[in-house]
Amino acid sequence: MRNAAGMQGVTKQIASGGKSNRAGAAAWLAVLCALVADPVASERWVDIVGSSRFAGIAIDIDSVSFVAGYPDRVGAWILYTYSTSIDCSPPRNCYAASQRVYSLVNCAAQAIAPVQKISMDRNGDAIAQSDVNFNAPQYVVRPGTDLGDVWRSLCPTYPDRFEPP
């Protein structure tokens, strides 16, 4: 799947170009791939989970980057594929089969904030795109939920705040 116009801008605003950050990202990415790699997954996408709400969730591992200035935050594109089409208006009569969501994941707070959403039809063509919102609310995620599995995949070294010690 190709990045639509505007997706690159989010990644550039989030990522830092420091060598130590790249080395940490490479080490972290090796851990991520070892934990959740699916032999059927493409080279870029790592499948996370499927549930009654979603037919599938995948993380674009090429987009994963640490957020400059925030040691406990990671940014990544997440693909949500729905079991049935969802309403994505505006525009009118917009129904999406999947959404790419650029999310900022706060590992320490166990929270995810959706920064930008791109709705796609069954052919994978972008049909609606939200504005980039770096002030989007953070949602605390619980273990055993779809977003909890996404958080666990992107923050494998952080303890789950909701699990008993």
Exposed e or buried b per residue across 23-43, where buried means at least 16 C-beta atoms within 10 angstroms of its C-beta: eebeebeeebeeebeeeebee
Task: Please indicate, yes or no, whether the overall pTM of this predicted structure exceeds 0.75.
Answer: no
Count the Cβ atoms, other than its own, within 10 Å of residue 119.
25
Least confident piece of the model among 19-23, 61-65, 140-144: 19-23
Q: What does R_g of the chain's alpha carbons equal in angstroms?
A: 15
Asked if 132 and 115 touch (Cβ cutoff 8 Å), the reply is yes
For residue 38, being part of any structural domain is answered with yes
Asked if 45 and 2 touch (Cβ cutoff 8 Å), the reply is no
For residue 160, being part of any structural domain is answered with no
Residue 92 lies in domain: 7-154
* Number of independent structural domains in the chain: 1
pLDDT per residue as tens digits for the range 150-162? 999 999 999 888 8
CA–CA distance, 43 with 20 (Å, rounded to integer): 25
For residue 2, being part of any structural domain is answered with no
For residue 134, being part of any structural domain is answered with yes
For residue 94, being part of any structural domain is answered with yes
For residue 162, being part of any structural domain is answered with no
User: What residues pair up with 140 in beta bridges, in sequence order?
Assistant: 111
What are the tokens at 59? Answer: 């993380």
* Residues recorded for the chain: 165
Q: What is the CATH number of the domain that holds 57?
A: 2.40.128.710
For residue 104, being part of any structural domain is answered with yes
pLDDT per residue as tens digits for the range 58-114? 999 999 999 888 889 999 999 988 777 777 766 666 777 888 999 999 999 999 999
3-state secondary structure the chain: CCCCCCHHHHHHHHCCCCHHHHHHHHHHHHHHHHHHCCCCCCCCEEEEECCCCEEEEEEECCCCEECCCCCCEEEEEEEEEEEEEEECCCCCCCEEEEEEEEEEEECCCCEEEEEEEEEECCCCCEEEECCCCCCCCCEECCCCCHHHHHHHHHCCCCCCCCCCC
For residue 1, being part of any structural domain is answered with no
